[in-house]
Structure 1
Amino acid sequence: MHLERIETTGLAHFSYLITDGGVAAVIDPRRDVDIYLEIARREGAVVQHVFETHRNEDLISGAAALSELTGARVYHGPKPAGNIAYAEIVREPFEVSVGNLRLQVLETPGHTEDSISIAVFDESYPEGAAGVFTGDALFVGDVGRTDFYQDREAEMAGKLWDSLQKLLALGDQVIIYPAHGAGSVCGSGVAERAFSTLGHERRNNRRLSLPSREAFVAAKTAEHHYQPPYFSIIERLNLEGAQARQNNLAPPILTLGELQSRAPDHLIDIRYVTSFLGGHVDGAQALPVSMISAFAGWFIAETDSIGLIAEDAEAVSAAIDHLGRIGFDNVIGAALSPLSMAASGAALTSVPIVGVETVAERSQNQDGWTLLDVRSIEEFEAGHVPGASHFYVGDVLAACDKPELAGSATIMCGSGARATVAASALLRCGYSDIDVFIGSFKAWQAAGKPVERA
């Protein structure tokens, strides 16, 4: 037997390939499916089965593409959001054989109606399940969010509690294989570890330690999660079945003038935020490669064209991978090295930065000045600079005319990265007199400054 976890950075997504006896099954594949074919070939196996543990909201499934390339059957849980063109609907206790392994479906709704988990049994050791692919029902240190059905949050939270009890009944020895790790938008307290057992989670998971179904429902319905606009695009594409990513089709490398002449709907600067702050093309949106998956879907529409500004072609390649995994393929070109652009006469602009003492001094007299904290509401309520206003960075990107800024403004977050993304959005939308609190809340705390809590 061989089991391999494939991590998709940016989305903190985990997919899996499991092989035995020349047969392979894939669980929750991402859109760029070449990696599964490569692993299967290396292990001398043929992909015959593909499982989707639930409707994905944050990334495009590669199940349809993988099925088209291999002829594998795709399995999806009952009560999907619509007709899934490429999948068979299966119910508990549907099972398939993968060599000497038996993969059995468990219906585990709560995160979504169609959520399933897949228990793994090794026929050579008949004492019980060896592992379980939990999808977004159970993570390491947390459980799935339950807010995707308006006005049904309590009902879905109750369903998730029941599903978790079903999973725990498999036994403490069972290894869990979740669909996400730390940093996922599908859970707010996922641990940094990528491995655990049901027994460990039973004893240590903050949600599984709650004393009753009622307490669990109350805790889940009190959570706050953000839903980027692109989630609705992903849900539709995951019903239709998206095509595989064409990784060999790289966007052309252009001069800045050539790129601008193509008039992309969005000119996105994917360099590090410090580079953007020091000098960037006027009107560009700061969005470092590592932040594309989290924030591109807040302001890019499905058919929008995209131009990239990067340090090198390697960064461009990484960016188109991140964009393609969430449904944005229309990258029409890239321009490299803003320093070279400046040497060629292109006009660059910069964003001023300020530190702790400047913010502390301004906080004593806030007339005509706003300190805007763009972290999540949970981060803000856990501790913020006295007098700061809150407006989440995703909402700034989605509707950057909404923050009420009285005159000048300083933008802050946890360290300065999200603040730079938000500041660039505000600047390209017509705000002026904006600077960025570099170091932001971490620097404020390190300096021993006072903190307010909600």
Structure 2
Amino acid sequence: MLFRRVESRGLAHYSYIVGDRNQAAVIDPRRDCDVYVQMALEEGLRITHILETHRNEDYAIGSAELASRTGAVVFHSAHDDLPYAYGEPVSDGQAIQIGRLEIAALHTPGHTPGHMSYVLHDADGAPWMVFTGDALFAGEVGRTDFLGAENLDKMTGLLYESLFHKILPLGDGVIVCPAHGAGSVCGSGIADRFWTTVGLERKHNPRLQHTQKEEFVRNVGRILPQAPYFKMIEKLNVEGAPLLGGLPAVQPLSAQEFAARAEDAWVVDVRDLLSFGAAHVPGSIALWEVELPTYAGWFLTYDKPILLVSESHRIERVTRYLIRMGFDRLSGFLANEMRAWHGAGLESRSIDTVTVQGLCHRLDAEQELSILDVRSAEEVEGSPIPGALHIHIREIPARMSEVPTDRPVYIFCGTGVRSMIVASLLRRAGWTNATVVLGGLAGWNSVSCPMPLD
């Protein structure tokens, strides 16, 4: 028997491959699906089934891609009123045979109306594992807000029924295999537990301590931010994302070629943030490789191609991150990075930075300035900066006009990472007065400085 979990970092997405004898099934595959093909090949298995738990919002599912490469049949929920352009419906209770293994579909609505979990039974017919998709995570449960505030209580009530009347009764020893881990936008409090079980979640998951339906609905249902790219992902996951035929090869460009294409493209710089601050292509956005999956969907749009400024060894990983989010129009990358740009005599930009000690001196001198705090509301509540303008990083494009242009603006976040991203967005929009506070609030708290005045 084969059982493996595949983690897609950045989006904190988990997919799974299960096989026995000469057959294998993949649950919620990612779009760059070579990993499953290779695993099956190494074990002498043929991928025959692809199971989707739901129409995902945060990543382009790879079902159509994997099916085109293997001939496998795709199954998605028969309980969704969605016009899928690929695959076949699977109904509650329907059994799927994978060699000697049986996987039973279990309708678990709440996150979405048609959400499906899949229960893997052992040789004696007892539940062994449950692939819960976005219904149940380690330490968290799925979001129920995708149908809007008017349906929030209804969907949260459906999730309660799915959890307490369908998943938890499977038994405490059943292994829970969710579609996401810690850091996913699909759950605000997912625990960093590598593996979990129904019993562990029953005991330790704070959402499952609300055992009465009315209490659960009141305490669990909440409206969370939705990234702009979700709408495109929803469309791709109904129509089927365009087939790639393998990982796209992003071509290196000379500085002149890159500059010629940059006018009508998103220029995304994935180098470390201090390198970006020192020198970058005018109009580029700082999306450090580690943060790229977190923020690309908030700031990039699908109507322009993407040009990358990156070390060559990062290109494959960055390509995978972007295609998983449906950003397929990768027009090239700047060969030899900023060395080539400067060698061609092209103009670059920089971002002003200041240490917390340097900012203290400016505050002591009573220089007129503004503090822009781009942390989350929860972070600000726990450690506020008096007098600061608070705009969460995700809200910057919509609220940029609130940022002053007539005085220096010092940008704070927790450590300085998000501040550099925001500074790049402001600089791209024409602001020339933004300065990143290196070390952010962590640095601020390590020294004795006067706080800005109200």
The two structures have a TM-score, normalised by structure 2, of 0.92
CA distance in 2, matches of 1:451, 1:172: 52
CA distance in 2, matches of 1:450, 1:160: 49
- TM alignment of 1:426-441, pairs within 5 A: 426-441=426-441
Q: Per the alignment, do residues 404 and 214 of structure 1 end up closer, same or farther by CA in structure 2, a change over 3 Å counting? A: farther
CA-CA distance at 1:116 after TM superposition: 1.0
Structure 2, unpaired ranges of 5+: none
In angstroms, what is the RMSD of aligned CA positions? Answer: 2.3
CA distance in 2, matches of 1:121, 1:430: 59
Alignment match, 1:77: 77
CA-CA distance at 1:175 after TM superposition: 0.6
**What SS does the corresponding residue of 1:130 show, helix, strand or coil?**
strand
CA distance in 1, matches of 2:259, 2:135: 45
Q: Per the alignment, do residues 93 and 13 of structure 1 end up closer, same or farther by CA in structure 2, a change over 3 Å counting? A: same
Letter in 2 for 1:282: P
CA-CA distance at 1:285 after TM superposition: 0.9
CA distance in 2, matches of 1:235, 1:379: 30
From 145, 148, 158, the equivalent of 1:147 is 145
**1:38 pairs with 2:38:** yes
CA distance in 2, matches of 1:76, 1:248: 25
- The answer to whether the 8 A contact 1:50-1:73 is kept is yes
Alignment match, 1:12: 12
CA distance in 1, matches of 2:48, 2:29: 13
Letter in 2 for 1:139: F
CA distance in 2, matches of 1:38, 1:448: 56
**What SS does the corresponding residue of 1:167 show, helix, strand or coil?**
helix
Deviates more, 1:410-419 or 1:269-278: 410-419
CA-CA distance at 1:30 after TM superposition: 0.7
**What SS does the corresponding residue of 1:202 show, helix, strand or coil?**
helix
**1:349 pairs with 2:349:** yes
**What SS does the corresponding residue of 2:402 show, helix, strand or coil?**
coil
Alignment match, 1:238: 237
From 120, 128, 131, the equivalent of 1:130 is 128
CA distance in 2, matches of 1:359, 1:239: 51
**What SS does the corresponding residue of 2:308 show, helix, strand or coil?**
strand
- The answer to whether the 8 A contact 1:264-1:307 is kept is no
**1:92 pairs with 2:110:** no
- The answer to whether the 8 A contact 2:16-2:28 is kept is yes
Deviates more, 1:240-249 or 1:189-198: 240-249
CA distance in 2, matches of 1:199, 1:251: 46
Q: Per the alignment, do residues 450 and 369 of structure 1 end up closer, same or farther by CA in structure 2, a change over 3 Å counting? A: closer
CA distance in 2, matches of 1:366, 1:146: 48
CA-CA distance at 1:196 after TM superposition: 0.6
The two structures have a TM-score, normalised by structure 1, of 0.92
Structure 1, unpaired ranges of 5+: none
CA distance in 1, matches of 2:342, 2:104: 60
Q: Per the alignment, do residues 38 and 343 of structure 1 end up closer, same or farther by CA in structure 2, a change over 3 Å counting? A: same
- The answer to whether the 8 A contact 1:264-1:332 is kept is no
Q: Per the alignment, do residues 441 and 96 of structure 1 end up closer, same or farther by CA in structure 2, a change over 3 Å counting? A: same
Q: Per the alignment, do residues 445 and 146 of structure 1 end up closer, same or farther by CA in structure 2, a change over 3 Å counting? A: farther
Q: Per the alignment, do residues 69 and 246 of structure 1 end up closer, same or farther by CA in structure 2, a change over 3 Å counting? A: closer
CA-CA distance at 1:49 after TM superposition: 1.0
- The answer to whether the 8 A contact 1:136-1:179 is kept is yes
Q: Per the alignment, do residues 249 and 65 of structure 1 end up closer, same or farther by CA in structure 2, a change over 3 Å counting? A: closer
Alignment match, 2:48: 48
- The answer to whether the 8 A contact 2:255-2:341 is kept is yes
User: Between the two proteins, what is the percent identity of the paired residues?
Assistant: 39
CA-CA distance at 1:88 after TM superposition: 1.8
CA distance in 2, matches of 1:362, 1:215: 51
CA distance in 1, matches of 2:430, 2:90: 52
**1:375 pairs with 2:375:** yes
Q: Per the alignment, do residues 213 and 248 of structure 1 end up closer, same or farther by CA in structure 2, a change over 3 Å counting? A: closer
CA-CA distance at 1:102 after TM superposition: 1.0
Q: Per the alignment, do residues 367 and 95 of structure 1 end up closer, same or farther by CA in structure 2, a change over 3 Å counting? A: farther
- The answer to whether the 8 A contact 2:247-2:320 is kept is no
CA distance in 1, matches of 2:9, 2:247: 20
- The answer to whether the 8 A contact 2:355-2:439 is kept is yes
Alignment match, 1:267: 267
CA distance in 2, matches of 1:314, 1:72: 33
